[in-house]
Structure 1
């Protein structure tokens, strides 16, 4: 069955969506949306260095993404705000990556696949990497779930409970780096942040607990990847952008439903009060 390229692509997309769901929720809760862009831009540098050194693309992206995550954790909370720090690092990594790419001959066509993903070219080896990365991230987040939530809610409360907020942020950023590395083949470095943020943002209005939000975000992400894959096949459109576009449409639909629900609730409360 795994010889079917569509099945391999669907499994890869679902695996990335499941790994991205809990991390995307933490990114939304912590207002770290820019971190996904910063890590993705760092992944471009990882791709370029891997091509220059003739090493594994996955290994190069993972190493550079992990270095970015560690650097962000070490520098955060110092003289610069998080968004300023991420902005500087994101654009610097992108610039260095593009400069490095210019030294690699014949990379332009391949670079498009790294930028926007090439999920239809996922092989059995890629599936193993994606599955392993997804399981690692889900196990790590599950292990640190309570501590991550407490540190996200209130740093002072976390310290009072013997939890080090900086350590939990490092766990989160390292997990994000792993997701960026495994998602490279599915949606490409320029769309990874969207796959992290959009399903979580779409799920947020309808969930009362963090666990429910993670589950709903996972469902939205998996449905978006599977539906986007089919839509790209039928419409002959780029697969990665189509997946993200479908997720964006789901977000718009969820926002409209939430807006209608809020207006209906206000109208009902005003009728009751009158």
Structure 2
């Protein structure tokens, strides 16, 4: 049962689910799912560096993710390659660096707790950081949602309306970088993007307005995360994979229901 977990762990998962759901909508709208995956996978190198320096992992990951975002922003201005190609190449590069660095300097440190998360390692610090980030994401959506949607639909119209697209994208990249750095202990490197994308994808199936989609994704994200936590506790399963598995099942069910409705028309 849920009493097997501390209140800090439960509230951290709730805050993480809310933050990921809100940010996931922006990732879907901007069609940047690949970017979230690439950044989270590249974070392995940040983990390896943190272990080597024996430094605070959260601080190291924040610095590394911000560096990664700045690097991608710089190279994305080059017109020779599409942005997704540049992002994935850097991702592969940093994954290779992580493995080689770990083999030579960290005496084969095990990445497992960072790959799939470890809820037992969640502290009050994680709860505070993710809660603050959750508030920042809410503020970002409140102040920039309309401008963001205009820039996504038509960047030329956004330019005519004097919308600072670079500023909006810069803030988005910072929030995404921080989200991945903070949530790795909860979901793990491999599953953080899934927790952002799947609740938003589920909400998208039956939503007609952006704000409606955000609210529904939060409800789905929190509800499924708590249900997954309960199932994992009762059957002694890995928590993060269980949560993602249930999310996927719900997505498939919703998709089938929607398609069956269209088939009847």
TM range (shorter): over 0.9
1:272 counterpart residue number:
none
1:89 counterpart residue number:
90
2:134 counterpart residue number:
134
1:250 counterpart residue number:
250
What runs of 5+ residues in structure 2 fail to find an aligned partner? none
Contact 1:11–1:127 under 8 Å retained in 2:
yes
User: What is the count of residue pairs matched by the alignment?
Assistant: 261
SS in 1 for 2:220: helix
Question: CA 1:246 to 1:58, structure 2 compared with 1: closer, same or farther past 3 Å?
Answer: same
1:105 equivalent to 2:110? Answer no
- Bigger CA drift: 70-79 or 87-96? 70-79
- Which residues in structure 2 correspond to 1:217-256 (within 5 Å)? 217-256=217-256
Q: After superposition, give the CA deviation of every residue in 1:50-106 in whole Å (9 maximum; x if it has no partner).
A: 111111111111111111122222322532212111111111121112222222136
Shift of 1:18: 1.0
Mapped partners of 2:151, 2:102: distance in 1: 39
Mapped partners of 1:27, 1:125: distance in 2: 26
TM-score (norm 2): 0.93
Q: After superposition, give the CA deviation of every residue in 1:35-57 in whole Å (9 maximum; x if it has no partner).
A: 11111012111111111111111
2:175 counterpart residue number:
175
1:22 counterpart residue number:
22
Contact 2:4–2:233 under 8 Å retained in 1:
no
Shift of 1:231: 1.0
1:72 counterpart residue number:
72
TM-score (norm 1): 0.90
Mapped partners of 2:14, 2:202: distance in 1: 17
Mapped partners of 1:65, 1:18: distance in 2: 21
Shift of 1:245: 0.8
Contact 2:133–2:175 under 8 Å retained in 1:
no
Contact 1:137–1:178 under 8 Å retained in 2:
no
Shift of 1:4: 6.8
Contact 1:228–1:239 under 8 Å retained in 2:
yes
Contact 2:195–2:221 under 8 Å retained in 1:
yes
Mapped partners of 1:164, 1:77: distance in 2: 17
Contact 1:228–1:242 under 8 Å retained in 2:
yes
SS in 2 for 1:189: coil
1:10 equivalent to 2:10? Answer yes
Shift of 1:141: 3.1
Contact 1:151–1:168 under 8 Å retained in 2:
no
Mapped partners of 1:29, 1:236: distance in 2: 36
